[in-house]
Amino acid sequence: MTARPFLLALAISAGLLTIAGCKKTPEAPVAPGGIATTPPPEGETADQFIARVNDELRKGYPDLTAAQWVSSTYINDDSERLSSKANERFSIQLKGWIEQSRKFEGQPMSPATARAITLLKLQTPMPPPNDPKQLEELTQIASKMEGMYGKGTYCKGEGSAKVCRQLGDLEAVLASKDHDYDAQLDAWQGWHATAIPMRKDYTRFVELVNTGARDMGYADTGELWRAGYDMTPAQIAAETDRLWTQVKPLYEQLHCYARTQLKAKYGERGEVAGGLLPAHLMGNMWQQDWSNLWDMLQPYKDAGDLDINQKLDQLAKADEAEEMSKLSGPDLPNPEQLADLHQVAALSTAKRMTERAQDFYTSLGMPKLPASYWEKTQFIKPRDRDVVCHASAWDMNMAGDVRTKMCIKPTEEDFTTIYHELGHVYYYLSYNNLPPLFQTGAHDGFHEAIGDTIVLAMTPKYLQSIGLVGEQQQGDQALINAQMRMALAKVSFLPFGLMIDRWRWGVFDGSIKPDQYNKAWWDLKAKYQGVAPVTPRGEEFFDPGAKYHVPGNTPYTRYFLSHILQFQFYKALCDTAGYKGPLYECSFYGNKDAGKKLQTMLSRGASQPWQATLKEMTGSDKMDASAVLEYFAPLQEWLKKQNEGQTCGWSSGPVATAPATTTKRN
């Protein structure tokens, strides 16, 4: 799930930006791709410089996003080439702006201009090298890797018996309630094998972006990423450690309980030596969300049914039946007609799911999505071409052309993902009146937290009100079921949100060498998540590449921070709505006061330090996980009781962790 706000798009998407407001001279050097890198007007002040950059960005932004949209929704050699060349051209322009900004260091300027220059310099996830040939190579590799991920296919068998599956189908195997050990292992290994060819390209990619970071004055790309948080790189690293320390005990209890249930299901195969969880058994390709293990981990079988998959499946079947009823004549539809029917029905279901998500936002006083959203969004996987199905939200022109890109299926996971992605979309719409350099989140974790704040408000009562679950039982057992349901998505994610950038920070600073990429990946997954593969994963593999954000070069610390912030935001909005009960029962659906407060925060964009925006929203200028612990307090106490007598924690092998502990009754 990814936002594509402006400053992220600077690095991973690109298009042709015309140079406005500059005098073009015959002597102006011409970069590859035909963009003249003209000098700034003589006598230009810092304030005028930023005004010019903002104007050029706004005018050129539709070309910037169009190139990447096409490369993600029509994957082929041509779109990959167009994206690569567009990225190269824009990277040259970006580099020119950054270099021009240096002449204003120490000069008088408005606070807004000083902040804009800082953002221009820092929020560049793929720093372009100065050397034109290296820049061209970098953009080619970046487009190639994203295309490889989108086209990734695992084939098995020969001849007429050959079966090929892409990520969505392989994920469905892991999510299946059959919980077939061998089928899940095959699907998991099959998808991870698709990343093997990326390894060489990624190694070179790291060399090139580090060159770009050094050209900008940073030690490496990881340091540049950490510099974008209104604090020093060392401070944000320490901040994430502090937040993880707050929530780690809760995760350890959930991990302990899950391991017990896996061993009950699979016997000794339900655990890897040292108390680690088998990677392919967690219901998710990357073990970042354990929701698909609900039938196995549900605390009380008869205490409220919160599984909305059945209702969504019924919705999809109703749409198919409606399309079937439109067919006339005695003949059954041929395979092509039937496939078309399924597509039309799937699109109808996907739009209805999205309309339901939109309803939550409009209930808070936000506007309906523009008509262009419904016309241009990719709702489902097309039959005729390869696309990147990874869910993402897009602002195409800074003027209301917003879209999402998904391959929606009628599942709980996709349903909540829609709510998440619309959080990005409403962020875009709320700050579109700001100068382009401020059109992003207060920090990147804010952008990811908005939609998930709404998901937290999707309480059992809310789900009942929209007809996705039946009348809910009351009492302690129903509460624990509801809490477990949420924890399998939220708590399970926390260590994963931390470890991906821990790996990349090490890769970028050289402490993780190319010949240790895979080992370091699994060492960190063991350290933070307590998971491990059940078969050897040597350096012939490149398992990091099996996660979109690695070949897509999307920083990931934002997702960890968002899982802390969303609970802070949720508590603040519940307080604003006048809610007085237990935090976990609050839904601010329909509350205009909460909606106004949320919209105020969104409208700030990155126009001020995130600490100021956070304080306006929550009353505190510090990120804090206490709301997470308050929300899950009943579940944490229940887990401790369930885990009594168990040896909780795990041994992660080469990477040391805290020693295992036995949970005892106080």
Catalytic residues: 390-391, 420-421, 424, 448, 549, 559
Instruction: Tell how strand 277-278 and strand 531-532 pair up.
Output: parallel
Phi-psi region of 626 (alpha: psi -120 to 50; beta: other; left: phi over 0): alpha
| Contact in structure between 83 and 16 (CB atoms under 8 Å) | no
DSSP 393: E
How many other C-beta atoms can be found within 10 angstroms of the C-beta atom of residue 246? 16
Reference 95, options 150, 138, 62; nearest CA is 138
**Residue indicated by tokens 């007085």:** 580
Distance (Å, whole) CA 350 – CA 344? 10
- Kindly tell me the burial class for residue 384, based on how many C-beta atoms sit within 10 Å of its own C-beta (0-12, 13-18, 19 or more): exposed
Q: Which amino acid is at 242?
A: R
Going by the DSSP 8-state scheme, the letter that residue 276 receives in this structure is B
Helix ranges restricted to H, 123-232: 132-151, 167-175, 181-193, 198-215, 221-226
Q: Is 81 exposed, middle or buried (0-12, 13-18, 19+ CB in 10 A)?
A: middle
Backbone angles phi, psi at 480, to 5 degrees: -65, -40
Query: CA–CA separation, 225 vs 220, rounded Å?
Result: 9
Residues 539, 544, 546, 551, Cα dihedral to 10°: -120
Q: Tell the burial category of 105 from Cβ atoms under 10 Å away from its Cβ (0-12, 13-18, 19+).
A: exposed
